[in-house]
């Protein structure tokens, strides 16, 4: 085994391959999961399964969390038998979840009082990027903590930017979602227009890809819309959650986000139609007025 002892909590579609990359790098890795079955492939590869987050923290110098909401992060940290009970002074907590910037700052303040460093390091790239270790990582926190973590981040992604102090990584992730999900909504409008005008959406996507509208979002989400394959690559409920964060931040700061406000309403409509477990490309069906079962 090499380097610091690592812990990882949050072994979902993104977290499990990320933890796997760290384990493959020769690091000692402890894991914890609410459902032990999600950890089994890592245990079979050499990871140590812990009974509680506190036990994992006692075994680790650096702990990663990759869970869904800020409440989830707080529970794992400061709930009963949480990480906070086991993290020793000098340990480092790296939260790669997407949560509100203010929440990240508050958690960092509590950990600092225990002598524990924290980085908020949300990512972009989805499950495919996690599997290929090509994530874009946006980091908030102290530069000294980042340098400790840099070799680990290099095993997880291809782009690493230190945005600023605690919470700044989450601000960058909110900005990422403004652009990305806004573009998904724009692609939905474009292909809805194409269909209504009698043009083949797949050929329209092909035409747009060669010009200034070409992008990864057009390729992936436009491709799903054209194929009418709304099976989740990214569940819409996760983008809905992220939009709640960014719209809350905009409200707190008094920043007008008129385009994002419209996208937020489209996401709300998709949730109301029961589309939360479908891909975000289902925004097309909101425009079409279909219910969740339509194809």
φ/ψ of residue 274, rounded to 5: 80, 20
3-class DSSP assignment, residue 137: strand
Alpha helices in the chain (DSSP H): 15-24, 36-44, 53-58, 70-78, 101-113, 126-132, 143-153, 168-196, 201-209, 216-217, 223-227, 236-253, 258-272, 283-288
Report how far Cα 7 is from the mean position of its chain's Cα atoms: 18
Residue 173: active-site member: yes
The CA–CA distances, whole Å, from 27 to 37, 44, 159, 218, 282 equal 22, 15, 21, 38, 40
Contact indicator for 67, 73 with CB cutoff of 8 Å: yes
Of 158, 173, 241, 273, the active-site residue reads 173
Half-sphere exposure in the Cβ direction for 250 (13 Å, CA): 17
What residues have CB less than 8 Å from 78, skipping those under 6 apart? 84, 110
Q: Which of 227, 264, 242, 280 has the alpha carbon at shortest distance from 97?
A: 242
Q: Which of 58, 60, 95, 48 has the alpha carbon at shortest distance from 76?
A: 95
Active-site residues, by number, are 173
């Amino acid at each position: 085994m090499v380097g610091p002892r690592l812990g990882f909590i949050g072994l979902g579609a993104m977290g499990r391959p990320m933890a796997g990359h760290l384990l493959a790098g020769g690091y000692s890795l402890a894991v914890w999961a609410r459902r032990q079955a999600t950890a089994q492939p890592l245990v079979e590869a050499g990871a140590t399964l812990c009974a509680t987050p506190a036990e994992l923290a006692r075994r680790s110098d650096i702990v990663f969390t990759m869970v869904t909401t800020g409440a989830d992060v707080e529970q794992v940290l400061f709930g009963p038998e949480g990480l906070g009970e086991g993290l020793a002074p000098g340990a480092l907590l790296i939260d790669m979840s997407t949560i509100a910037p203010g929440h990240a700052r508050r958690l960092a303040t509590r950990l600092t009082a225990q002598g524990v460093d924290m980085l908020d390091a949300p990512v972009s790239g989805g499950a495919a990027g996690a599997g290929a270790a090509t994530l874009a990582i946006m980091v908030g926190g102290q530069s000294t903590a980042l340098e400790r973590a840099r070799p680990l981040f290099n095993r997880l992604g291809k782009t690493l930017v230190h945005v600023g102090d605690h919470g700044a990584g989450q601000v960058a992730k909110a900005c990422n979602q403004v652009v990305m999900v806004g573009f998904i909504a724009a692609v939905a409008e474009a292909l809805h227009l194409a269909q209504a005008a009698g043009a083949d959406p797949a050929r329209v996507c092909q035409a747009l890809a060669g010009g200034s509208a070409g992008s990864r979002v057009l390729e992936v989400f436009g491709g799903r819309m054209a194929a009418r394959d709304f099976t989740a690559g990214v569940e819409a409920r996760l983008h809905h959650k992220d939009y709640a964060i960014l719209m809350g931040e905009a409200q707190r700061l008094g920043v007008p986000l008129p385009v994002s406000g419209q996208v937020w309403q489209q996401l709300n409509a998709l949730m109301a139609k029961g589309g939360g477990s479908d891909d975000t490309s289902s925004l097309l069906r909101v425009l079409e007025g279909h219910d969740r079962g339509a194809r």
